[in-house]
Amino acid sequence: MKLARWLLPLLSLGIVLLLTLRSTEGRRLGPGPLHPAHAGVAELADGANCEACHRKGQGIAQDGCTRCHEPIAAQLATERGLHGSLPAAQRQRCEQCHSEHHGAGAPLIAGHAFALAGYPAGTPYDHRHVAFRLTGAHDGVACAKCHIGADAAAPPAGGRFLGITQACTECHDDVHKTAFGRDCESCHGQQQPWREAPGFAHATFPLRDSHRKVACAECHATGTAHDVAALQQQSLPARTCVECHADPHRSEAPKALQLAGTADCARCHDASSWGAAKPTAAQHEAFGFALRSAHATADCAGCHGSATVAPRWTGLPPTVAACAVCHRETPHAAAVVATATAAVGPADGCADCHRDADASFRGATMAPLQHAATGFPLSVPHAAVECAQCHTGDAWAQRFPGRTAAACRACHADVHRGQFDHEPRYAQCTACHEPTQPQFLPHGFGVGDHAATAFPLTGAHDAVACSGCHRDTVDGARTFRGTASRCAACHEDVHAGRFDRKGLPATVAGREGCARCHDTAAFAPVAAAFDHARWTGHALRSAHATLACAACHPAGGGGPGTANLGKAAGTTCAACHQDPHAGQFRVGAATDCARCHGEQRWSELHFDHQRDSRFPLDGQHLDVACARCHAAYATPRGPVVRYKPLGTTCGDCHRLGAGGEVLK
């Protein structure tokens, strides 16, 4: 009876063993075929030497890989390179990134390997672990351009990415044939085009302007003392201008253009435009004649002459006051010149009215004493008037008609078009304007005068310019009489009628319109305390009651360039505050922050984990820090702490043993 009970299990076991032996045909069983790259290694060829990579009871040990991959072992030992920069625990687990025993169909570098190393899908490797950074033009170069075996189906000998140097000449030809050494980047860099060599320091002779466009070989010809190779051995002083450029001021040039010590070309010329250069005003003043106004823009040949134009002067430079040396013609009659000379005695009768700083001689200004000699004393405000403003016209009689100082109407029209003619006290301009002020401004009509009108100026109105209220014009004349005095005539309702809606008070303490909140002193702040609940229907409580108005109502609400407060974004928390929980506590289309937070202080929480969550805290969970379960995760807006959804079973947070016990 006992034998019969065991007969069937023994027979089944024998059949299984027989089938196993027949299916393997005597070969040793394994987890799967090796990748061809490993299968080609003699030590691993027959798949029988598992101990070459594996350690009994330990799985794959690190030295099982690094015994063959020596460069990787060196990275791990020195903590350099991609592998040496991995976390310590990850360095011991090669199989996390490199899969095996899947045959040729699966790559040795798993698809998630670079993500584990800190490079998620779509993020290129930026060389941060090696000395050669990918910047400038190198940033867009494909990996296979430098690493030939990067995209090969099987890794080449020595690896896909290791074994090449980081010298420039590894990929680029040295056009200088080592004349400048091998540190190409120190001159060329990686940001700008290679030929510009932005880092090259031409210190002895700075290359500026046109000198930057000259080919190197034009100055450093091969076989000369200034050859690059020769200068590497022995440096020479910077060459002067005449060593490379001919002197255009040679003796056969026009006599007026000859300059002493012409070897110092930089006195007049620079490297930007040699032919068009001329002395600056300061340089010309050092030669003996200051260039100002019209003289500063005059053509050089106009005074100095040229091969075809005779010079206006010869010998030493004339003084600026000696106008007649160059300007021999005059439009004035002899009597005018004599009067001016007798009054002040200018040199040559010109320099006291005409100055070299004037743009032209026609813009001259006579001195008050000289003008008084004509019969029209230049007192204020006429003393500051440009001559051409009164003396207009092409004919002499038009420019100088012989007016008297008392004939105001001869020049000035009534800009008010008779608005004040009905009152005798305003019949003369001097009733409001001071004749000694330029252009009759400022006027003398003040706050006291305005108080006698129908609209006394109070509060901020007394600081408003007249044109602020008197804006209308009739036939070009500004209107003063009949100007409206209602607020709406000058001021726009920046609230767009919001406070005139039905149900809101039309009067407050007997005041109507804008005066319900404002006075003429200033529209901001309001004249009385603003009842937010009364006017808006939204009461301000707790911390909101202490906020400045502009915290919720942005400035500029009245339009571009205004300081008026704008419309608030809303009355819900989300209208003004960003949700730091990224919508985790949204119910429907809204998030009610008040369910957990207080209004007085945001950090005042009402959240009860036992009541408000689906995972009451008990036992050891009561002492666990919140961040142990609620960790932050990355979002495009920055890190966000995850509160939901989270698992509530033990296995969601803990590693469990075979019997369901918590191991970690």
Q: Is the pLDDT of residue 258 over 70?
A: no
| Alpha-carbon distances of 521 from 192, 208, 453, 562, rounded to whole Å | 61, 62, 20, 18
| Alpha-carbon distances of 384 from 285, 353, 407, 413, rounded to whole Å | 30, 14, 18, 19
CA dihedral 603→606→607→608, nearest 10 degrees, is 140
Q: Which amino acid is it at 309?
A: V
Closest CA to 515 of 528, 501, 533: 528
What angle is formed at CA 632 by the lines to CA 627 and CA 636, rounded to 5 degrees?
A: 165
- Band of residue 256 on the pLDDT scale cut at 50, 70, 90: very low
Mean pLDDT of 191-206: 80
Mean pLDDT of 310-337: 67
Phi, then psi, of 463 in degrees rounded to 5: -105, 0
Nearby residues of 122 by Cβ (< 8 Å), 6 or more positions away: none
- Band of residue 639 on the pLDDT scale cut at 50, 70, 90: very high
Task: Compute the distance between CA of residue 280 and CA of residue 297 in angstroms, rounded to an integer.
Answer: 11
The pLDDT assigned to 253 comes to 43
Q: Of residues 74 and 431, which shows the higher confidence score?
A: 74
Q: Of residues 585 and 485, which shows the higher confidence score?
A: 585
The pLDDT assigned to 527 comes to 62
% of the chain residues with pLDDT over 70: 80
Closest CA to 589 of 597, 579, 602: 579
DSSP 3-state of 332: coil
Nearby residues of 267 by Cβ (< 8 Å), 6 or more positions away: 259, 279, 283
Q: Is the pLDDT of residue 254 over 50?
A: no
- Band of residue 618 on the pLDDT scale cut at 50, 70, 90: confident
Q: Which amino acid is it at 562?
A: T
The alpha-carbon radius of gyration of the chain (Å, integer) is: 48
What angle is formed at CA 563 by the lines to CA 560 and CA 567, rounded to 5 degrees?
A: 80
Token pair, residue 9, equals 């299990």
For strand 632-633 and strand 640-641, is the pairing parallel, antiparallel, or unpaired?
antiparallel
Task: Compute the distance between CA of residue 244 and CA of residue 247 in angstroms, rounded to an integer.
Answer: 10
pTM for this structure? 0.34
The pLDDT tens digits of the residues spanning 523-578 come to: 766 766 778 888 888 888 888 888 888 888 887 765 555 667 778 888 888 788 88
Task: Compute the distance between CA of residue 469 and CA of residue 37 in angstroms, rounded to an integer.
Answer: 91
- Band of residue 429 on the pLDDT scale cut at 50, 70, 90: confident
Q: Report the mean per-residue pLDDT for the chain.
A: 77
Mean pLDDT of 618-626: 86
Whether 436 and 378 have beta carbons less than 8 Å apart is answered as: no
